[in-house]
Amino acid sequence: MELSKLLMPGAVRIVGQLTSKKRLFQELGEIASQAYGLSAAVAIDGLQERESLGPTGVGHGIALPHARLEDLSKIVGVFIRLEKPLDYDSVDRQPVDLVFGLFAPKDSGVDHLKALALVSRTMRDQSIVAKLRANTDPGKLHAILTESRAPQAA
């Protein structure tokens, strides 16, 4: 599994400022709708439902909201770089500026977990995170996220 298969260039955005986690989920849903044809409302509801189980802010300014959705044929991703960090109730209580949203089919099982692990490994790489924070061009952000890397064990 590779990020280049999960993340389309049109699903990478720079967003100036969002006022709440709810607004962030709306933005993720709208981008997923535009890039992949998902129902924005279904995507937003899925993210909110998953978030109610526990926060997806993993620390160090990074959030990995995700949801399993009906009527989705493959796992897809959305990436947002926030210019102004957002309070997200992360595990380390730090605001979030890098958000990788993942949407998977309801019955994706282990593939959903593999995709989440891949995104998590990528977002834990300090050199990648530094490059993401240093760039403001969505095309460059997509290239940084999807460049081939040697596979690592989870």
Which tokens sit at 152? 């690592």
Rounded to whole angstroms, how far apart are CA atoms 58 and 89? 10
Active site residue 60: no
- The identity of residue 146, as a single letter, is T
Which tokens sit at 57? 């802010």
Residue 63: name the closest of 111, 105, 15, 107 by CA: 15
Positions marked catalytic: 66
